[in-house]
Amino acid sequence: MAIEHTNWDNLRLFLAVVRAQSAQEAARRLEVDHSTITRRLHRLEKELGAQLFERTPAGHVLTMAGHRLLEHVEQMENSMVRVGEDIGGERHALTGHVCLGATEGFGSFFLAQHLSHFTERHPGIQVELLIVPRFINLSQREADLAVNVERPHSSGQVCSKLCDYRLRLYASRDYLARHAPITHPRDLRGHRFVGYVEELVFSNELRYLAAVVPQAHTPLRSTSVVAQYNVACAGRGLAVLPCFMAAHSPQLVPVLPEVIDVQRTFWIAAPANRRDLARVRALWDFLRDVVARHQGLLMDGGAAGPG
C-alpha cells in the first residue's frame, strides 16, 4: 500500500473508526454525518486498492490490510503529535483523546472521582475510562494506558508499579447484629460468603477467599467485585473487598482485621510507542500522584490526602 499521497483527514477518520469499532460511533464522536465517514472510507479503500474493514452487524472489523495500515497511521499520528509538542510547546501538546483501562473496582470506586480533577486541570484532553472485569489488551489497542492487578510482560509496553492496596473481610453492621460475635477464624464456619466464580477468575491475584477462609460457604458467586460489594452492603453475606471500596459504605465494617490481611499491587502500563505522548504522560503522572496522596484510603480505607 502506498499512503504518501493519501489525504490525512481520511486517515484520521480511519483511526476514529478503528478506535470506535464502528462508523456510526466514530461519526458521533467526531460530530460529523455517518454518510461522510462511510463515503470517505470507501474513497480511502479505493485510493489504496485494498479493503480495510469487514462490515459486520457487530461493527467494523479490520482486515489484514487494515491492520497493516493501522500500524503505519499510528506511527504517523505519533510523529505529528510530537511535532506539535516540539513546536507548539506544552500548551499545544495537552490536547486530544486518552483511553484509560482499569479493573472494575478500582475504576469505579477510585479512579472515576479523581479523573474529573484531571479533566478540569487539562480541559483540552478528553478521557475515556474503560472499566472491565478482565485484563485490558493494550496490544489490541483497547486503551492508551491501563491499570491491572498483574504486571504485564509484553515487550511492547512500558510498565511500572502504581501502588499497593489492602483487602479485608467485610460484613454489614446488620449482618453482624443478627449473628453471634466473630472473634476467631473458627467462628466463620457456617457463615455465608460471596466471592468470585472460580472458573472465570481472570487473575490468580483474585483467588484470595479460599486462602483467607478455607472451604468458605459461597451460595452466591459473581464475576463482578461490585456485585460482591453490593451483596455485603445488603447484609446477605461476608466478602473480601478492597479497603478503598468498603470505605464508601458506612454499613461495612472489617471482620477480624488483625488476622485477615490481604495485600495486592496495581500496575500501570502503556504501549511503548504512546507512553511519551504528552497527554498520555500527563495522565500517567497524574495517576501516580493521586495514589501517592491516597495511600491511607488504599491501604486501610482511612483518610486521604487533599485533592
Asked whether the predicted pLDDT for residue 40 surpasses 80, the reply is yes
pLDDT of residue 283: 96
pLDDT of residue 8: 76
pLDDT tens for 1-15 read 555 556 778 888 888
Asked whether the predicted pLDDT for residue 175 surpasses 80, the reply is yes
What percent of the chain is modeled with pLDDT above 90?
Answer: 53
Closest C-alpha among 282, 277, 280 to residue 85: 277
pLDDT of residue 18: 84
The count of domains in the chain is 3
| Domain range enclosing 26 | 8-89
Say if residue 26 is in the same domain as residue 137: no
Say if residue 152 is in the same domain as residue 271: yes
Residues 6+ apart with CB under 8 A from 203: 135, 149, 150
C-alpha neighbours within 13 Å on the C-beta side of residue 12: 12
pLDDT of residue 71: 78
pLDDT tens for 90-143 read 544 578 889 999 999 999 999 999 999 999 999 999 999 999 888 888 877 788
Bigger pLDDT: 55 vs 252? 252
Say if residue 221 is in the same domain as residue 278: no
pLDDT of residue 307: 45
Name which of 61-65, 162-166, 167-171, 249-253 the model is least confident about: 61-65
Predicted confidence band at 73 (pLDDT cuts at 50, 70, 90)?
confident
Say if residue 154 is in the same domain as residue 288: yes
Say if residue 17 is in the same domain as residue 105: no
Which residues sit opposite 131 in a β-bridge?
A: 102
CATH number of the domain that residue 17 is part of: 1.10.10.10
Is 307 among the domain residues?
Answer: no
Is 243 among the domain residues?
Answer: yes
pLDDT tens for 79-90 read 666 565 555 555
Say if residue 175 is in the same domain as residue 243: yes
Is 3 among the domain residues?
Answer: no
What pTM value is reported for the model?
Answer: 0.73
What percent of the chain is modeled with pLDDT above 70?
Answer: 91
Span 214-222, average pLDDT: 92
CATH number of the domain that residue 138 is part of: 3.40.190.10
pLDDT of residue 256: 96
Is 152 among the domain residues?
Answer: yes
Say if residue 118 is in the same domain as residue 252: no
How far, CA to CA in Å, does 122 sit from each of 75, 97, 114, 279, 305? 24, 11, 13, 9, 21
pLDDT of residue 80: 65
Out of 62, 89, 116, pick the residue that ends a domain. 89
Say if residue 258 is in the same domain as residue 169: yes
Is 285 among the domain residues?
Answer: yes
Q: Read out DSSP for 269-285? A: EEETTTTTSHHHHHHHH
Q: Which three cell numbers stand for residue 140?
A: 489490541
Say if residue 45 is in the same domain as residue 76: yes
Which of 21-30, 61-70, 159-168, 293-302 shows the highest mean pLDDT? 159-168
Say if residue 108 is in the same domain as residue 240: no
